[in-house]
Structure 1
Amino acid sequence: MTEPIVRLNGVTKRIGSKTLIDQLTLDLPPGEVFGFLGPNGAGKTTTIRMMVGLMKMTSGEITIDGFSITKDYQKAIRRVGAIVENPEMYKYLTGYQNLVHYARMIPGIPAERIEEVVRLVGLEGRIHDKVRTYSLGMRQRLGVAQAILHRPKLLILDEPTNGLDPAGIRELRDYLRVLAREDGIAIFVSSHLLAEMELMCDRVAIIQNGKLIDVRSIQQAQGENAAVRYLFEVDRLGEALAIAAQSGNSAENAGGGSVAVEADRERIAELNAAFVAAGIKVYGIRAAIKSLEDQFLEVTGGERIG
């Protein structure tokens, strides 16, 4: 089994009598885009601040590539790249000059590495233009390039899609997936855009009131739900509900002339045949997959994301 790049073990943060983070335990493997979700005030930003050493933990341990953020801070933080909201760049310099400037701060980054990260984020055609001429999406990509110059094992992004238009969000999402897949970086993303996180992430963690309440795989959750709940669009709703109930399936009125049935694929075929035999017209059958937003609201009791 692959050793996690990041390990949070029993991380707790208290200020006075208030507990901001309560016994948070998480593992992040390499090559995964990991989403971090929670309602307003759930503790997302506090967690990120502790991960990068900007806030002390009350108790617990955070290790990055085996190094403790409290005991071996310099070694741990060298393995981290981070962007918090919009990356700050020198707008009067070119993108390339900005990267050269940042590279000088860390010994051992050759010119070839700068060229490599420029290609990785797809800025070859504009890297020698002044940053003030860049779109927000291009500045985000330049920020990612700067954050990965030193080959970090962990990339932390706090609200990385803030202010981006749909094309910019898609660009950033695509580059993050390439980074995770090709460079094996663990990417930790905090965002309030649930639909975007569903497209971007491999797994998501949901916290509420400082406590971890769920970690789920996006693909796994979708696959499981797809085989559980189906919607039949029919012409005689009452009769269809009665037939579904008689056949031993859990059925309910889903509105819009549809019957919702929880059953496996084989039973769905049998139920469709029963409807047709009874003279009920079936206009459509579709799997009702729960979106990440549905799942989030389910586990948080409807609290707003933020």
Structure 2
Amino acid sequence: MNDEAVLQLRNVTKKIGGRTIVDNLTFDVPRGEVFGFLGPNGAGKTTTIRMIVGLISMTKGEVFVKGISVRNHFELAMTHIGAIVENPEMYKFLTGYQNLKLFARRHAGVTKQRIDEVVKLVGLQTRIHEKVKRYSLGMRQRLGVAQALLHKPSVLIFDEPTNGLDPAGIRELRDYLRGLAQREGIAIIVSSHLLSEMELMCDRVAIIQAGKLVDVRSMSELKGAAGKQTVRIEVDDPERAMEYLAAALGLPDGSMTVRDGALEVAAERGLIPELNRRLVMADIDVYGIRAASASLEDQFLELTRGEQVV
């Protein structure tokens, strides 16, 4: 992933009727990253997205796209953004290709070759000349992505892109967006209420509550992919297992506990295979080992004190 920030928010604020909807949001999104945007109902996610793409004005603050101010150079900044806010709107009586040709007229320099390129990118080659009314919802989503890609943007923004999709369609869109970010080096911002999908799709997530940024975390941190993590080991005698490992490996006090009939150990990732080997050698039956780290949903509920996500 390239660390060049292509989207920057600086103290972005929106007030309506004396009420603060978005409060001093500041974060960066680099190229090649899928960035998740999470928040409880009314947190200000969609309002923030609408300010980024210029659908509503900012009360205070600034958004930069490739260093270009949205406030001062709106039209130039928008040439670097492609967005689908809610569902992509298409002319259903026209073919997918005709829809793309119409949209291409809004941007200078979009050639027939470029239209063909994005059709191939989204995998619609065999269906692009059919009328949109015959498309499944997943195909319409892909056509919307093609439309957003036509002018070669540096930033793609999707507000609830998986709405209405079945599980196969969600997986297809998720895999496509991740591949697109990696292949094309595009920064992708995704707002979604499906926390499990955000875990699989995103490199980092930003959590906002009551319009304020609560935290920005990488998925590797959330999943405990590096460094210490807590593992839950199901054994026939957890108390004996804890005593044995403390003596055999010299694990520090407080690094192990017995919880709900299983042994939980906080240890470096590389030590986990050794834990298993030692227990087996000590004739302690091991029934299962799994990460006990909190899921994205658990951590989200902790950070937002249980408020519902949308």
After TM superposition, the score normalised by the length of structure 2 is 0.90
Single out whichever of 90-99 and 232-241 deviates more from structure 2: 232-241
Contact 2:222 2:295 in 1 (8 A): no
Q: Deviations over 1:177-217 (max 9, x none)?
A: 22212222111110001111111111111111111111111
Q: CA deviation at 1:254?
A: 3.3
Q: Does 1:304 align with 2:304?
A: no
Secondary structure of the 2:5 match is: coil
CA 1:16/1:113 → structure 2, altered by over 3 Å: closer, same or farther?
Answer: same
Question: How far apart are the structure 1 equivalents of 2:168 and 2:35?
Answer: 22
Secondary structure of the 1:119 match is: helix
Question: How far apart are the structure 2 equivalents of 1:254 and 1:204?
Answer: 30
Q: CA deviation at 1:73?
A: 0.7
Question: How far apart are the structure 2 equivalents of 1:71 and 1:229?
Answer: 49
Q: Deviations over 1:118-140 (max 9, x none)?
A: 00000001001111111000000
Q: Does 1:262 align with 2:263?
A: no
Q: CA deviation at 1:98?
A: 0.6
Q: Deviations over 1:47-66 (max 9, x none)?
A: 01110112221211111111
CA 1:40/1:126 → structure 2, altered by over 3 Å: closer, same or farther?
Answer: same
Percent identity between matched residues is 59
Q: Does 1:281 align with 2:285?
A: yes
Contact 1:226 1:287 in 2 (8 A): no
Q: Deviations over 1:225-250 (max 9, x none)?
A: 77420111122345445666786243
Q: CA deviation at 1:68?
A: 1.0
CA 1:116/1:274 → structure 2, altered by over 3 Å: closer, same or farther?
Answer: closer
Which residue pairs with 1:199 in the alignment? Answer: 200
CA 1:82/1:237 → structure 2, altered by over 3 Å: closer, same or farther?
Answer: same
**Paired residues, number:** 304
Single out whichever of 222-231 and 25-34 deviates more from structure 2: 222-231
Single out whichever of 290-299 and 99-108 deviates more from structure 2: 290-299
What amino acid is the match of 1:103?
A
Secondary structure of the 2:299 match is: helix
Single out whichever of 217-226 and 294-303 deviates more from structure 2: 217-226
Question: How far apart are the structure 1 equivalents of 2:262 and 2:85?
Answer: 45
Question: How far apart are the structure 2 equivalents of 1:271 and 1:240?
Answer: 11
Q: CA deviation at 1:3?
A: 3.1
Which residue pairs with 1:135 in the alignment? Answer: 136
Contact 1:243 1:275 in 2 (8 A): no
Taking the TM superposition and a 5 Å limit, the aligned residue runs for 1:3-82 are: 3-82=4-83
Question: How far apart are the structure 2 equivalents of 1:158 and 1:80?
Answer: 14
Question: How far apart are the structure 2 equivalents of 1:273 and 1:3?
Answer: 46
5+ residue gaps, structure 1 = none
Contact 1:155 1:187 in 2 (8 A): yes
Question: How far apart are the structure 1 equivalents of 2:213 and 2:172?
Answer: 30
Taking the TM superposition and a 5 Å limit, the aligned residue runs for 1:79-118 are: 79-118=80-119
Which residue pairs with 1:293 in the alignment? Answer: 297
